[in-house]
Amino acid sequence: MKKIPEPTRRRLIQVFQFLSGWKKSRITSADISAFLGCKDSLVRRDFSFAGCAPGVSNGYDVESLKNVLASVCGVCPADGNARKKCCIVGLGRLGAALLDDSFFEESGFSVEAGFDSSVNRLEIMRSTFELYPASRIETVVPQRKIEYALLCCAEKEVPLMTERLVRAGVRGIVNYTRAVLNVPASVRVENCSPVTALMNVQG
């Protein structure tokens, strides 16, 4: 399979999510291009990168398309035991909201642990998974084979928490703070700060 460029991968993930709400059994590249706001030729090129069989005159079979995209993007592994493990670092208002398991249903990811620097906060919070003091990141993450982290801590804590996550061996960090992370090239970062997103969207 061809190496999938990052912009293509992002569009394929969007298409996968879009198909989850598609009620018909088939869909055309024109339907998808209207959703993405791009030419249908770009959709067909993206699908060729993913190894999708060319569509016929009445479009693509939705279930087959979803299966291919799930496999390529790692969005929702068919084997439930293959769910990718992640953790939440920082359990203030934003981090606490992510304790709701419904965010991760059918996503291919499972939250295995939560971390916070405030022991008092941990004592009053309830979750379906274990919550730990942030000082235990370097121990718990490798023990639980956690690969990804959602970083929601206060900005003053970002350097220390990032350092701990890198030492613990995570492969990727979703950064909900406005801070710029300093990580090795082997660790991928996705910046999702609402303020930064608003600044980007206004332009």
Rounded Cα distance, 182 and 140, in Å: 22
12 is in an annotated binding site: no
Task: Identify whether the C-beta of residue 153 lies closer than 8 Å to the C-beta of residue 171.
Answer: no
90 is in an annotated binding site: yes
91 is in an annotated binding site: yes
51 is in an annotated binding site: no
With a CB cutoff of 8 Å and minimum separation 6, the contacts of 162 are: 151, 173, 181, 182, 183
Q: Give Rg (Cα) of the chain.
A: 19
Nearest to 87 by CA among 134, 124, 119, 126: 134
99 is in an annotated binding site: no
Cα–Cα distances in angstroms (integers) from residue 63 to residues 21, 36, 74, 151, 175, in the given order: 12, 19, 16, 34, 32
Nearest to 164 by CA among 178, 183, 180: 183
Task: Identify whether the C-beta of residue 84 lies closer than 8 Å to the C-beta of residue 74.
Answer: yes
Which residue numbers belong to the known binding site for NAD(+)?
Answer: 90-95
Which residue numbers belong to the known binding site?
Answer: 90-95
